[in-house]
Amino acid sequence: MTLTAMKARYPVRLAALLVLLSTGLHASSIVHPFLLDDGVQIFRNPAVTAGAPLAAYFLDRETTSSRPDYNTRIYRPMRNLAFRAIVTIAGVRPLAFGIANLLLYGAAVLLVLLLALRLTNDRAAAAWATLLWAMAPVHVEAVAYASALGDQLSLVLELAALAVALPMLGPGPNENRTRPAPLALSALLALAAMLAKEMAVTEPGVLALVAIAVGAWPWRAGAARVLVALHGAVLIGYLALRTHVLHAIGQAAITGAGLRAGLREAPWLLVQYLRLTVMPLGHAASYRVPPPTVWELLLALAILGGAVALAWRVKRPALTLGLGWFAISLVPVLHLVPLWADLADRFVLFPSVGLALTLAAGLVGPRVRKPLAIAVLSLATCAFAAGSVLEARAWWSNGLLWRYAVDRQPDAPLARANLAAMMMLEGDPAGAVVQLEALHALGYTRSDLELKLAWARERVGLHARAVEAAQAAIALDPELGPAHAFYGELRLADGDTATAQAQLVEARRLAAHHPSTGLLGFRLLGVGGTDPRVAYLRAIEALYFDDPSAATRSARECVRLQPDRHECEAVLGQALAKAGPLTAEARELLTRAIATLPDGPDRRGSQEALWGAR
């Protein structure tokens, strides 16, 4: 194809304008500190900050994050390699990750436009559909959240895999003929997409839909048959590798009862994802979707049936492709296999491309140039753009993010739990108690949250109820060592030395190096608060419970008692940084701790505190 023909088919100026509009719209959403799980995934993850052998990213699940429970459930080596590349180039800086996300989003806009043009052959229809996709508020999370870089990378790689495959399927001299280089490239891009985010496992199914939409039936056309078979083989290889590394298929055990519940709820969840994709406001970092009632399920089935009937009646291949694309690519998050989250905006990033293609198919022809159509599309674009700007405000800080999430959906347990942690960080233990107790009313209990409730209650003088919460934590998880240690502290305060000693035995067995265990041991020996070791452990314990105000008091006492002890300065710097914003005192303390302390928990904690406060 000549350069002139290429420009005529793929309008460069239009593409550049769409990229500028979309990246400009989201540019303000990337200027903020690390949020949500960025600490676990990025700045507390040694595989990202310090690096690891290349093979380890693919074969050692401990390179995934700093949380062991995450590392048995998710497998995203390409994402972590991208994290490591960003850190190597620009350091552990949230803005660097934000810029990377913005660039990936721009690349995705180009690919969506390319696919829409190829599948509709209508420049105006493809442009409007791509513009609305780029402005969609449902994408704010994927751009603003640094750890969602895996979603963005997977999106770009998956779209690229389809774009490379499409010329081998369409009409022209390449019809029904595969070429080794693009065939291999498309398969490698699909594999890389899966290695960046598990949701890309539906790529072979989407590829089959694309083949059908362009008239290359996979069971008849040679090129389509080879392509789909190769991508299916890639999928099988990926699943085998992931299962080998994680020793699991889903995020929890797959059971018959869970599968039946998933089949019952899947239509309702699909409709909820449709609603999320098109609504201009009301998005949140966490959602709770109760099981549908009979009437809700019937409504969902009616909506889905109407979509199928529309596709059948209209008989436009691109429209059918878009609807099928949306449904098939959401299968991994419809709870057919166990999943932590009910819903998430970032899960709809790739599926929403299907709705964009549906819109493009519906706009094909002269109707897109009529004044009424232009007015409606312009209003929708403005509504989406305004919604994206407004939704991005919640991503300026964790406190704003979780307050908005609780306001948006008060019955979302994760939102309540995370807001409680934010309130502790802000020095409001009473507010944290309110949020954690609200979880009880929702019927949501977890051992670690009960332990945090025990700490918060003790901080506001509710000693007896703190004891109850610590007991509840142990009852929920008898292997939770810090719960035994803190319960022992509470009982020792009541004068029950025998129970405190018994709890110390359990705590040493389960969590020998935890600060609460050491603190209980000192207190049972009669060592008081005038000992710098006790003050140090008390500060570390407070940091464990996300209580920087209590940690600051104990750390300052540690510094006063032993001014030349750099560990005390390190924990004081961490406490001040965790309370935020990063002050000159905190920066000086953390920088000195990093320079003087040997490698160990205090030095690493100081480095992580400095990264997390940027």
The per-residue pLDDT for range 410-438, each reduced to its tens digit, is 988 989 999 999 999 999 999 999 999 99
Q: Most confidently modeled of 235-244, 370-379, 565-574?
A: 235-244
Mean confidence (pLDDT) of the chain = 89
| Cβ-contact 432, 456 below 8 angstroms | yes
Q: What is the pLDDT of residue 253?
A: 66
Q: What is the pLDDT of residue 29?
A: 85
pLDDT band at 212 (very low <50, low <70, confident <90, very high): confident
pLDDT band at 214 (very low <50, low <70, confident <90, very high): confident
Q: What is the pLDDT of residue 106?
A: 96
Q: Which tens digit of pLDDT belongs to each residue from 138-160?
A: 999 999 999 999 999 999 999 99
Asked if the 527-614 domain carries CATH number 1.10.287.1080, the reply is no
Res. 398: pLDDT tops 70: yes
- DSSP structural state of residue 598: P
Q: Where are the domains of the chain?
A: 3-356+370-395, 527-614
Q: What is the pLDDT of residue 6?
A: 43
Angle, vertex CA 348, rays to CA 290 and CA 280, nearest 5: 85
Q: Which tens digit of pLDDT belongs to each residue from 440-466?
A: 888 888 999 999 999 999 999 999 999
Q: Which tens digit of pLDDT belongs to each residue from 553-602?
A: 999 999 999 888 889 999 999 999 988 788 899 999 999 999 999 888 89
Average pLDDT in the 311-324 region? Answer: 80
Q: What is the pLDDT of residue 51?
A: 93
Report helix, strand or coil for 3.
helix
Q: What is the pLDDT of residue 220?
A: 65
| Cβ-contact 133, 352 below 8 angstroms | yes
The per-residue DSSP string of 248-315 comes to: -SSSS---HHHHHHHHHHHHHHHHHHHHHHH-SS---S----PPPPHHHHHHHHHHHHHHHHHHHHH-
Nearest to 243 by CA among 201, 292, 182: 201
Q: What is the pLDDT of residue 172?
A: 47
The per-residue DSSP string of 445-481 comes to: --HHHHHHHHHHHHHTT-HHHHHHHHHHHHHH-TT-H
CA distance from start to end of the chain: 48
Number of H helices, E strands in the chain: 32, 0
Q: Which tens digit of pLDDT belongs to each residue from 501-557?
A: 999 999 999 999 999 999 999 999 988 767 889 999 999 999 999 999 999 999 999
Contacts of 608 (CB under 8 A, 6+ apart): 39, 43, 44
Q: What is the pLDDT of residue 176?
A: 45
How many percent of the chain have pLDDT more than 90? 62
Report helix, strand or coil for 488.
helix
Lowest mean pLDDT of 44-58, 87-101, 252-266, name the range.
Answer: 252-266
Tokens at residue 250, please? 């889903």
Q: What is the pLDDT of residue 170?
A: 64
Q: What is the pLDDT of residue 476?
A: 95
Longest dimension (CA), the chain: 87
Q: Which tens digit of pLDDT belongs to each residue from 279-305?
A: 999 998 888 888 888 888 888 888 888
Separation of alpha carbons 392 and 235, rounded Å = 35
Q: What is the pLDDT of residue 174?
A: 45
